[in-house]
Amino acid sequence: GVVRRGRTTLRAPLAAASATEPPPRFWGQPLSGPHPLQLSVALSSGAEFTGKQGNSNKWYKVEVTLKHVDLQAARLCGFLTIHGLCKRYPKMVTFFEGELCGTPDFPFLTSKWGADERVDRQHWTRFRGFAGQAEEFQKASFSRDPRDRRADHFVFMRWKEHHLIEPSDVNTVPGASFDGFYYVCLDKRKRSVDGFYYHAESEWFQRLSLQHEAARSRSSGDFELR
C-alpha cells in the first residue's frame, strides 16, 4: 500500500509481510571473553533508541531495540517500532537485520535491494561522517572497518526490515511496505543514529533520527563495550 500526499506518493518503510515468516535469525555465538573491539554501548545487544522518522511534512515516533549484535560477523538484528503511521494499527513492530559497512563481507556498495552506485553515493554522502570519501567508496580496495582501533567515531550500516512482529495476524497493512532499506550512521560519541530510507518507488530521503536511551537499554553482558 501507499500513502498519497498531494501529488507525491509516499511509501512508508514499514514491514507488511505474512505472519508465517520464519522467526528472527541470529548469527554465531556471543563472545565468551574480553574482545579487542572497542565500539559503543549504543552498538551492543539490548541497546535501545527513541526518536522519529519522516519528512518535512510528517514525523512519526520511532523506537528501536538491538536484540543481538555480532561484531565478529559484522551483523545485528532488532525490532523497529513506529507509532501513528496507520489508524487501524497505531503501533507496528518490525524485525530487521543490519550489516556493518566497510567490513570485508559488507562493502559500502550495496548491489542489492534496487540500489546501485549512484543511489549509494546520493545517500552515503548525506552523512557528515562520510565527507571526502564520495570518490573512493566504490573501489574494491576501499576499507573502513568500524571494528578497527584506528577507525573514527562513525559506524555505517544498512538496516533491512523483513517482517511484521506486531500485529502478527495480518498479511498486509495499507500504507506500509518493507521493500526498501535504511542507510544508517551511528555517531559513537553522541550515541545517536541518523538514517535515510531508500526504495525506488518511495519518497527519497525519508529520515530516521534516533538517540540512545542508556537508562532503558538492557545489555546482555555479551557485548557491553564502553
Contacts of 141 (CB under 8 A, 6+ apart): none
Q: pLDDT digit string (tens) for 107-158?
A: 999 999 999 999 999 999 999 888 777 777 777 667 788 887 777 789 999 9
Contact 79, 57 (CB under 8 A): no
Closest CA to 111 of 181, 167, 168: 181
pLDDT at 38 over 60: no
| Torsion sign across C-alpha atoms 86, 92, 96, 100 | positive
Closest CA to 167 of 92, 112, 117: 92
pLDDT band at 94 (very low <50, low <70, confident <90, very high): very high
pLDDT at 67 over 70: yes
User: From CA 41, how far away is CA 219, in angstroms rounded?
Assistant: 8
